[in-house]
Chain A
């Protein structure tokens, strides 16, 4: 569920097809630079009503999903 929402946010942001985004995709593959990552995390925070800290260890979509899940509780 988290993944589906994240996938849609990332796809809308980059104006690409959702099918291009998988759990194993890296943000770099999806052409997110550091600025894009912070910007899209703001949309994610709003969507899930959480506060996230941008962090260099977040490399894949899966990392992002796990971070959100850890913060939702």
Chain B
């Protein structure tokens, strides 16, 4: 069985459009949430805030004529992939047939959908662009990345809502572990802060209606009232250890476990006893060889919805038993907002960097403890702790539960 390591990272996020800025922001508690600028809200929108990507310049990564052919979620994905490929130094050092792409999206090209639907209403069916379908479909980020880097090996753009890119990273980990590829770009991308998405998430009562951007997302705090939409892309270069060593690659962390389950309970609500989420965590811990001796960092899904944070706390207790009280937990969504299909990979990245540096990013905005969320959530300030195992959990609409486990790299 192969060992699987992370050798490159790429990120376009609400708190930074490169990995260094992203990580510095997380450690210093920068909140990326603000008033929505992408469209006019008017008085009818109850939700007026989001965690938008700021100052993204696509022409750093491609010509603008090429960018017109790609939905924004794919543009973000290409930018993150370029950063991951560049930082890994893998270009020219991997066989195309052994190089894969597992980059998903929770929703896909929602901007494209809205624009083209409006065109059809205005001009009829002949007015619909030939790019409508190729820009819309949520697998296109993987397709475009594969073309760009000649990645002819396994290709699997996962779609599991908010668990998308944790599943992508986990499936890529297993593919390399079992010998199906030498390297895989794994992650997710999302760009759905659009009029109809915000309206839809508001209608399903998922979003915070707190008008103050700096306190709207406060995971595990008693006053939390919903999640805040985010966007962006996060992509990790996963690589088989010997392949990475043979080319002298810098190794950031090791992936050691993955769990994947479903609640089989409700379309949008988590199972109140969190059995499925707990099982995903247990599977990842078992594969990671967790014994109870580890000092564990948990990058929680922690969306700041009343139900999620309560259920996730229950899941951690169910999975870790007595040791749950020793966990060092944070939700970096308090800073990035909920990047939906991109969130799992962004959080796996934060977990990898936390393990490498021994610095754990905080849960910002945390003030009032909730008796139903009674674990330790690293409030407001980063902590320096010698953690030996990190897990990142993601729980998605559709009942999806995914968890990846990482360790600091030791030869």
Contact = CB atoms under 8 A, between A and B. Distances in A.
B265 interface: no
Interface of A: 13-16, 34-36, 38-39, 42, 51
Nearest to B63: A15
Contact of B65 (A13, A34, A35, A38): A13
20 contacts: A13-B65, A14-B65, A15-B63, A15-B64, A15-B65, A16-B65, A34-B130, A35-B69, A35-B130, A35-B131, A35-B134, A36-B69, A38-B130, A39-B129, A39-B130, A39-B131, A42-B126, A42-B127, A42-B129, A51-B126
A38 B63 CA distance: 20
A16 B63 CA distance: 11
Main secondary structure of the interface of A (DSSP, over half): helix
Nearest to B128: A42
Nearest to B133: A35
Interface in B308-347: none
Contacts of A14: 65
Nearest to A54: B130
Contacts of B65: 13-16
A30 to B, nearest CB: 11
A42 B130 CA distance: 10
A27 B130 CA distance: 17
A10 to B, nearest CB: 11
B122 to A, nearest CB: 12
A13 B69 CA distance: 11
A34 B130 CA distance: 9
Given A15-B65, A34-B130, 16 more contacts: A13-B65, A14-B65, A15-B63, A15-B64, A16-B65, A35-B69, A35-B131, A35-B134, A36-B69, A38-B130, A39-B129, A39-B130, A39-B131, A42-B126, A42-B127, A51-B126
Interface string B118-149: 00000000110111001000000000000000
A34 B69 CA distance: 12
Contacts of B126: 42, 51
Contacts of A42: 126-127, 129
Contacts of A36: 69
Nearest to A12: B65
Contacts of A38: 130
A13 B130 CA distance: 14
Interface in B30-74: 63-65, 69
Contacts of A34: 130
